[in-house]
Amino acid sequence: MDNLVPVSTQRCLPVRPAAGSRNATLAALWRTYGAQPVQLQRTREGRNLSRERYRRAEEFMLPLALGAPGDWPDFLYATGIVAQLALSSHLLDVGFPDTWCARYVSLHIDRSLAYANASGFGYECAETARLATVLSPYWKWNHRHLVDRPRPKDGGFTPDQVRSLVRALMDHVAHVTGHGRSRRRMRIS
> Tell me, what's the pLDDT at 11?
52
Per the domain annotation, does 34 fall within a domain? no
CA 30 distance to own-chain centroid: 18
Per the domain annotation, does 179 fall within a domain? yes
Q: Does position 179 have pLDDT exceeding 70, yes or no?
A: yes
User: Is the peptide bond preceding residue 137 cis, with omega within 30 degrees of 0?
Assistant: yes
Per the domain annotation, does 52 fall within a domain? yes
- Provide the whole-model pTM: 0.82
> Tell me, what's the pLDDT at 21?
57
Write out the DSSP string of 84-117: HHHHHHHHHHHT--HHHHHHHTTT-HHHHHHHHH
Q: Which domain holds residue 162?
A: 42-188
Per the domain annotation, does 153 fall within a domain? yes
| Domain tally, the chain | 1
Query: What is the residue type of 146?
Result: L
- What is the spatial distance between Cα 15 and Cα 120, in angstroms, rounded to a whole number? 9
Per the domain annotation, does 78 fall within a domain? yes
CA distances from 184 to 11, 48, 140, 163, 180 (A): 25, 20, 29, 17, 12
Per the domain annotation, does 97 fall within a domain? yes
Per the domain annotation, does 2 fall within a domain? no
Per the domain annotation, does 3 fall within a domain? no
